[in-house]
Amino acid sequence: MALVSATEMINKAHEGHYAIPAFNTNNLEWTQCILRAVQETNTPVMIQTSEGAAKYMGGYKVVVDMVNDLIDSMGITVPVALHLDHGTYEGAKACIEVGYSSVMFDGSHFPIEENIAKSKEIIELAHAKGVSVECEVGGIGGVEDGVASAGELADPAECKRIADLGVDFLAAGIGNIHGKYPADWAGLNFDRLAEIKEAIGGKPMVLHGGSGIPFEQTKKAVSLGVSKININTELQLVFADATRKYIEAGKDLEGKGYDPRKLLKPGCEAIVAKAKELCEGFEAAGKA
Ligand code: 13P
């Protein structure tokens, strides 16, 4: 099955009150593990790369070819969208050209007028090629690919202005944070989420910083219009933890335990297990 735009899967999730998991990938193994998890749980998925991760893997085209080839060689039948996460204006344009089926243009750090002008242009370019678009209003707390954001709560009136441009789904700060949540995190701000939902007329919304948010809160967010939940840190943590245990147990020193196919296996199994748990938790399993 070829890559698909995310519009249809997100709209279905919006109507059916579940959230599409959007997993960030970092390399070949990560991508294989995500695809295995979603195929085994029959989950529609968005696989996304930050610009930094795409560069790490050799560039946007390498990512497009890798994901397409894995879908083919693994016999993946669930819908898969390949999405650019937190794209710059230039990055979003490059990904639309090279075959990503969905892009995020993150103009949240620009003054609102500039965010609107650039978002409008990317939406037009993307839609002309059948590519879905996510835009962002207000920062998301934490560190986004090296750029710290103030993490303010998004302004509902600004959200409406971006939503009215015809964006397919909208990311807006509602107290969420990228990376690990601090012990004293106040939780998601559902009052602000409800205000934004009202302002944008029920357009699907995106929850960034999905790692570590209790399912009770993600479910409530879904009931208020969130239809895509981004996950990066959580898969990185389980991978690192399983790999550390393997090495600390001295397994890399036994036989050919140093072979990357053996060394990376526990981490990979941990990614598959965690991704499946999240597909279930977001109630997207079985929806492909
Ligand atoms: P986490 O790393 O906190 O899961 O956030 C991922 C994300 O929102 C990517 O845009």
| CATH number of 79's domain | 3.20.20.70
**3-12, 171-180, 238-247, 258-267: least confidently modelled range:** 171-180
The CA-atom distances, in angstroms, between 11 and each of 34, 44, 50, 71 are: 22, 12, 23, 23
Residue to mutate (ligand 1; options 51, 180, 232; most atoms within 8 A of CB): 232
Tell me the HSE value of 264 on the side-chain side, using a 13 A CA sphere. 12
Q: Does residue 220 carry a pLDDT above 50?
A: yes
Average pLDDT, the chain: 95
pLDDT of 143 reads 57
How many Å lie between the centroid of ligand 1 and the Cα of residue 257?
A: 32
Beta strands in 14-113 (DSSP E): 20-24, 45-49, 80-87, 102-105
CB 201 within 8 A of CB 163: yes
How many Å lie between the centroid of ligand 1 and the Cα of residue 247?
A: 27
Reduced to 3 states (helix: H, G, I; strand: E, B; else coil), residue 160 is helix
CB 154 within 8 A of CB 137: yes
Q: How confident is the model at residue 181 (pLDDT cuts 50, 70, 90)?
A: confident
pLDDT of 148 reads 42
How many Å lie between the centroid of ligand 1 and the Cα of residue 210?
A: 6
How many Å lie between the centroid of ligand 1 and the Cα of residue 170?
A: 15
Contacts of 218 (CB under 8 A, 6+ apart): 19, 207, 210, 226, 229, 281, 282
Q: Does residue 150 carry a pLDDT above 70?
A: no
Atom of ligand 1 nearest to the CA of 177: 3
How many Å lie between the centroid of ligand 1 and the Cα of residue 165?
A: 25
Asked if residue 41 is part of any domain, the answer here is yes
Task: List the residue whose alpha carbon is closest to atom 5 of ligand 1.
Answer: 209
Atom of ligand 1 nearest to the CA of 85: 10
Residue to mutate (ligand 1; options 170, 208, 228, 234; most atoms within 8 A of CB): 208
Pocket of ligand 1 (CB under 6 A): 24, 85-86, 178-179, 208-211, 230-234
87 strand-pairing partners: 105
Atom of ligand 1 nearest to the CA of 144: 10
Catalytic residue among 65, 69, 72, 85: 85
Closest CA to 135 of 201, 86, 202: 86
- Number of H helices and number of E strands within the chain? 12, 10
Q: How many domains does the chain have?
A: 1
Asked if residue 288 is part of any domain, the answer here is no
Widest pairwise Cα distance in the chain: 62
Q: In this predicted model, what pLDDT tens digit does every residue of 92-114 receive, in sequence order?
A: 999 999 999 999 999 999 999 99
Residue to mutate (ligand 1; options 170, 233, 277; most atoms within 8 A of CB): 233
pLDDT of 1 reads 77
Asked if residue 286 is part of any domain, the answer here is no
Catalytic residue check, 106: no
Asked if residue 124 is part of any domain, the answer here is yes
How many Å lie between the centroid of ligand 1 and the Cα of residue 53?
A: 13
Q: What percent of the chain has pLDDT over 70?
A: 96
CA 228 to chain centre: 7
Q: In this predicted model, what pLDDT tens digit does every residue of 45-71 receive, in sequence order?
A: 999 999 999 999 999 999 999 999 999
Q: In this predicted model, what pLDDT tens digit does every residue of 133-143 receive, in sequence order?
A: 999 998 776 65
Q: Does residue 149 carry a pLDDT above 50?
A: no
Closest CA to 125 of 87, 155, 151: 87
Asked if residue 287 is part of any domain, the answer here is no
Asked if residue 159 is part of any domain, the answer here is yes
Asked if residue 1 is part of any domain, the answer here is no
Give the predicted TM-score (pTM) of the model.
0.96
Domain containing 11 equals 7-281
CB 82 within 8 A of CB 64: yes
pLDDT of 139 reads 75
- Average pLDDT in the 214-226 region? 98
What is the 3-state composition of the chain as percent helix, strand, coil, each rounded to the nearest 5?
50, 15, 35
Asked if residue 141 is part of any domain, the answer here is yes
d(CA 266, CA 271): 9
d(CA 124, CA 121): 5
